[in-house]
Structure 1
Amino acid sequence: MFSPYYAWAGRRDPLNHCALNVALYGKSGHRWAMTERRRDHISRSENEFVLRRSALAWDGTRLRVHIDEPTVPFPGRIRGTVTLHPSPLSGKSFLLDDNERHAWSPLSPVSRIEVALEKPDLGWSGAAYLDMNTGTEPLEAGFRYWDWSRASMGAETAVLYDVTMRDGGRRSLALVFDDKGEVREIDVPPSVRLPRTGWTMPRSTQSEDGTARVIKTLEDSPFYARSLVSSKLLGRPVTAMHESLHLDRFRSPIVQSMLPYRMPRQFW
């Protein structure tokens, strides 16, 4: 959805603009892969999606992702396997805008993951999350800005959405999912403004006691930030994965011209 090549091509033939995005954060530094593939590098079936050397396969009980991708902007490679073991799928879908053009589906908010990488030599297991967004128009046509966060709390996962639509309207979601696939709404906590990023990106989140703190900023770009944030939900402290997306900035020609440095396209 952020592909500059897809936008320049008039947003036609999406299968000609596919990429697997992998981001690793650790003490040894960050690694990023997001190379866009042509249609002739893509194949798919009911249970498998192949992007040249990488592939996603569903065997009925787990999602297995084989990764073999070049890193940018510094040359390298991420290679290995990620296996996601979902809890019962929620089957829920939520509209994000008043015009009903954008939907979010939390497929398995409470999951387990196993990571086994060869390059770099890393491996771990832990809590995971799987969702999907769909839309009938570009994100920047429907929204100006949004904040999203997901906090894993053992057998439950809390997800917060706060969006500002293109017409200035607002919509907030505060949901808790359990490991049985059930979901319940909770009162939307008070909004808390977070410090701006190095690119002066605004950030905010929600917390029951009106306080929150950025533990670490993982991604800092002109239009997007990913952070670890501490806050309070359901009466207890939580650590959440948090994202801020500034779509007015994203649609600017200057930012569009910068995107190929983080998302190259393989033309050969």
Structure 2
Amino acid sequence: MRDGGGRAISIIGFIGSVFSPWYAWSGRRDPQNHVCINVATYGPGGRFTMTDRGRPALRQCADKFTVGPSSMHWQAGRLVIDVDEISAPPLVSRVRGTITLTPSALTSVEAALTPDASHIWRPFAPTCDIRVDLEAPGWQWDGHGYFDANFGTRALEEDFSQWSWGRFPLRDGSACFYDATLLDGSQLSISAHFDKTGAASETAPPPKARLPRSLWAVARETRADNGVQPQQVQNMLDTPFYSRSTVQTCINGEASIGVHEALDLRRFRSRFLKPMLACRVPRRAGWSFS
């Protein structure tokens, strides 16, 4: 998120692109044949890119992850992300430039999201500085960011009905909240605080607080102090099954604006949704690095 608000960016690297209809239609048998670096920019001139690429586009080593024309690599303690993608309709254009993420510290925290650890959350760097430098007017800015990862051995919709997640910057670090309902009706609740040295602690979560439904009527909730009504500040991504936005809340008396996500896996399971997604997620199986 840009300091002062108004613009934001998200980048997700996928091996086994969990929201790709092509990966689902393939039976999810070969995750390395469905890879992607998804880039979405929010604010004036915002774009969405999510190209499902085949195995020839993937290269990996200890400190670099490459998918076709885009890559992520570690350099002097910073995560440098070079992007060169084409955005999805209706605003088809090139999204090209560099995003640099500088963590205040790296954590060793790992949390299981299901009883058998079929899904793992790994918040590598909950508190970061970010520098965005894209080849577009107004897309050169500094702000605060976040770096995490999720790993899974089953499809999300095989284990979850819905979930919400939020990361909120605080004076001394960041707070993260994970709330989910599993298919068997059991509840997951994670409330964590990370200071600027990377030290993590479980905290008593503030009460749940409802947010208005998204434009596609996805149910949303987050955490807030008693008597506080969280508010959406900026709508970022709105789909029939997924909502991402910036939200203002209050945590232990401290006001914060952070990123919030809500996911409805019951909707995502619908066979009617996959053709809709294919319009936004093109498949490009071939690639040559030469």
Q: 1:170 aligns with which of 187, 195, 204?
A: 187
Q: What is residue 264 of structure 2 aligned with on the other side?
A: 246
1:94 to 111, 114, 133: 111
Gapped regions of structure 2 (runs ≥ 5): 1-17
Aligned residue in 2 for 1:262: 280
Question: Does 1:45 pair with 2:61?
Answer: yes
Asked if 1:228 is matched to 2:242, the reply is no
Q: CA deviation at 1:121?
A: 5.5
Residues 23 and 31, structure 1, Cα contact 8 Å, conserved in 2: yes
Counterpart of 2:77 in structure 1 is: 61
SS at match of 1:106: strand
CA distance in 2 between counterparts of 1:86 and 1:167 reads 37
How far has the Cα of 1:60 moved from its partner?
Answer: 4.9
Gaps of 5+ in 1: none
Of 133, 136, 140 in structure 1, the residue corresponding to residue 150 of structure 2 is 133
User: For residues 178-231 of structure 1, what are the alpha-carbon distances to aligned partners after superposition, in whole Å with 9 as ceiling and x for unaligned?
Assistant: 111101122111111111112111111111124211222211110000111111
Matched, 1:10 2:27: yes
**Secondary structure, counterpart of 1:263 in structure 2:** coil
Aligned partner of residue 10 in structure 1, secondary structure = coil
> 1:99 offset after TM fit, Å?
2.9
Amino acid at match of 2:50: M
Give the deviation of 1:170 after TM superposition: 0.4
- The residue identity in structure 1 corresponding to 2:86 is P
SS in 2 for 1:21: strand
Equivalent pairs: percent with the same residue?
40
Q: Secondary structure at the match of 1:197?
A: coil
Kindly report structure 1 stretches of 4+ aligned residues shifted beyond 6 Å: none
Amino acid at match of 1:262: R
The residue number in structure 2 matching 1:23 is 40
1:78: which partner in 2? 95
CA RMSD of aligned residues (A): 1.4
- Identify the range of structure 1 (206-215 vs 246-255) with the bigger mean alpha-carbon deviation: 206-215
**CA positional deviation for 1:44:** 1.8
* 3-state SS of 2:164 partner: strand
Count of paired positions:
267
Residues 110 and 155 in structure 1, CA contact (< 8 A), matched pair in contact too: no
Contact conserved, 1:193 with 1:204, CA < 8 A, in 2? yes
Distance in 2, matches of 1:183 and 1:235, equals 20
* 1:260 shift after superposition: 1.0
Could you state the TM-score of these two structures normalised by the residue count of structure 1?
0.95
Report how far residue 48 of structure 1 moved. 1.4
